[in-house]
Structure 1
Amino acid sequence: MTTTVPETGTRPVHKSSPVRARGPRRTGRIKRIGLPYLLLLPALILELLVHLVPMVIGIVMSFKELTQFYIRDWGTAPWSGIDNYKLSVDFNGPVGESLLHSFFVTVGFTLLSVGLCWAIGTTAAIYLQDTFRGRGLLRAVFLIPYALPVYAAVITWAFMFQHDNGLVNHVLHDQLHLTDQPSFWLIGDNSFYALLTVSVWKGWPFAFLIVMAGLQNIPRELYEAAALDGAGMW
């Protein structure tokens, strides 16, 4: 005696079907997540080659006894260990004294440059918050140093700081008579002030943009409430 199973019209469910469907979905998700990193990989490798390789070479060179005989082929220079570092940290010697002087000059230059950039940029951003005729033109003029290419700015300022026919000496010595003789701005102690001037001139528009963008996000009602409470400019 045989029995027949009635057909219900439904297909049998295979337990392996969800696994098959989940596999391509997971692979596509991995591809979507990994694609941005894959596109950034060439730039990352290039950055490592540009920055990391010279840094490693510089560290290796610091442990070698480099002289004028080995400077062109530093790989053949004898190994000196940490003798170069001992010589540098000896602040009573000429090398250590020069290193300490360079450190203080670098710190002073950084503090003055960053401080002046943000002070000038903040002042200009606050001044241009009020609406007046010509504000858009003045903003465009303020951004000229930031938009100007670096090489063009360097060439222009180098010409202005020339000793014989530079614009700075022409104004300070020939017109205003503030100096006894034309100064050397590109060498000597005056080069610090020349570099500081160029650094501040080039950097303060960036601070101006950052502060101006932040001030524009402050509601006008806060200024009006502060004015009603008796707040002044400061």
Structure 2
Amino acid sequence: MTTTVPETGTRPVHKSSPGAARGPRRTGRIKRIGLPYLLLLPALILELLVHLVPMVIGIVMSFKELTQFYIRDWGTAPWSGIDNYKLSVDFNGPVGESLLHSFFVTVGFTLLSVGLCWAIGTTAAIYLQDTFRGRGLLRAVFLIPYALPVYAAVITWAFMFQHDNGLVNHVLHDQLHLTDQPSFWLIGDNSFYALLTVSVWKGWPFAFLIVMAGLQNIPRELYEAAALDGAGMWQQIRRITLPSLRPVNQVLVLVLFLWTFNDFNTPYVLFGKSAPEAADL
């Protein structure tokens, strides 16, 4: 008697080679590594077009003899070599003397603006550390100058600095009687103070915001212990607040200095194409 073994319906299993399994894993790993760079590509292209390309064009233009006849088509302007740079560093000539004057005015303006922005911002941030009614509203009001568009804010200040019907002269001369006659704020020596006022007004809220964030990292227990030891408010600020804010202040002052020193929009919108000598940055 013969016995028939039934078919199980199973198929033979073929073992895949190690290289075949490694291939898809390698491809997936490459995709995961390359995906962040692919997502950054639009931002890198935009950065290239906005910053690097204009910088290279500016360097090329500095070696050309640009006049009113070539300013629209600077590519056809003749090459001048380093003559433009020689003219700029000749401080006995009119161009070099004007450049040196602008440099000293810019440095003085930057130091005053950064110092005032830091002092006002730090004072406001320390004052708003205490809890009182309306503190949130006051914080929002303090940040308004920083949130406003630069052009709109500076144009508004230009109107307020007008000689005949400006708000500044109306308050100082007509209301408070602090001046004998209305002052010219956009020409003459007063133009420097007008520019400094606008710069500090729109810059100190940034210092206030950064210092206020830095104050959140200082433990309140330090102030409580200092108060128990008899330290007053000024001693607490000098011994606790300012030393704890040193890393924050270093970055803050550096950023404010770079922003203020390179600021072009504020003097250009406030004075137009020809700035007064006292505010010729």
TM score, norm. by length of structure 2: 0.73
CA distance in 1, matches of 2:2, 2:89: 101
CA distance in 1, matches of 2:159, 2:204: 22
The residue matched to 1:4 in structure 2 has which SS?
Answer: coil
- Structure 1 counterpart of 2:56: 56
CA distance in 1, matches of 2:104, 2:134: 43
CA distance in 1, matches of 2:2, 2:101: 106
CA distance in 2, matches of 1:36, 1:181: 63
Residues 61 and 16 of structure 1: CA distance in aligned 2, closer, same or farther (over 3 Å): same
1:2-41 mapped onto 2 (5 Å cutoff): 17-41=17-41
Q: Give the deviation of 1:123 after TM superposition.
A: 0.6
Residues 217 and 2 of structure 1: CA distance in aligned 2, closer, same or farther (over 3 Å): farther
Q: Give the deviation of 1:184 after TM superposition.
A: 2.6
Residues 137-165 of structure 1, C-alpha deviation per residue, up to 9 Å, x if partnerless?
A: 21121111122222331232122112221
Residues 3 and 182 of structure 1: CA distance in aligned 2, closer, same or farther (over 3 Å): farther
Question: Where in structure 2 are there 5+ consecutive unaligned residues?
Answer: 234-281
- Bigger shift: residues 60-69 or 163-172: 60-69
- Bigger shift: residues 148-157 or 43-52: 148-157
1:1-234 mapped onto 2 (5 Å cutoff): 17-233=17-233
Q: Give the deviation of 1:102 after TM superposition.
A: 0.8
CA distance in 2, matches of 1:228, 1:58: 61
CA distance in 2, matches of 1:139, 1:67: 50
Instruction: Name the % identity.
Output: 99
Q: Give the deviation of 1:18 after TM superposition.
A: 3.5
CA distance in 1, matches of 2:8, 2:66: 90
Report the number of matched residues.
233
CA distance in 2, matches of 1:19, 1:218: 57
Residues 17 and 59 of structure 1: CA distance in aligned 2, closer, same or farther (over 3 Å): same
CA distance in 2, matches of 1:181, 1:6: 118
CA distance in 1, matches of 2:67, 2:139: 53
The residue matched to 1:207 in structure 2 has which SS?
Answer: helix
Please tell me the root mean square deviation across aligned C-alpha atoms, in Å: 3.7
CA distance in 1, matches of 2:232, 2:12: 81
Q: Give the deviation of 1:41 after TM superposition.
A: 1.1
Residues 64-114 of structure 1, C-alpha deviation per residue, up to 9 Å, x if partnerless?
A: 122233223322222111111111101111111111111111111211111
Residues 90 and 3 of structure 1: CA distance in aligned 2, closer, same or farther (over 3 Å): farther
Q: Give the deviation of 1:126 after TM superposition.
A: 0.7
Residues 170-192 of structure 1, C-alpha deviation per residue, up to 9 Å, x if partnerless?
A: 11222223333323323343332
Residues 227 and 22 of structure 1: CA distance in aligned 2, closer, same or farther (over 3 Å): farther
- Bigger shift: residues 154-163 or 88-97: 154-163
Q: Give the deviation of 1:50 after TM superposition.
A: 1.7
Residues 60 and 8 of structure 1: CA distance in aligned 2, closer, same or farther (over 3 Å): same
Residues 31 and 5 of structure 1: CA distance in aligned 2, closer, same or farther (over 3 Å): farther
The residue matched to 1:8 in structure 2 has which SS?
Answer: coil
CA distance in 2, matches of 1:98, 1:10: 94
The residue matched to 1:174 in structure 2 has which SS?
Answer: helix
CA distance in 2, matches of 1:196, 1:103: 16
Q: Give the deviation of 1:9 after TM superposition.
A: 15
Q: Give the deviation of 1:37 after TM superposition.
A: 1.9
Q: Give the deviation of 1:2 after TM superposition.
A: 24
CA distance in 1, matches of 2:17, 2:187: 78
Residues 186 and 33 of structure 1: CA distance in aligned 2, closer, same or farther (over 3 Å): farther
| Structure of greater relative contact order (alpha carbons < 8 Å, 6+ residues apart) | 2
CA distance in 2, matches of 1:76, 1:170: 52
Residues 4 and 210 of structure 1: CA distance in aligned 2, closer, same or farther (over 3 Å): farther
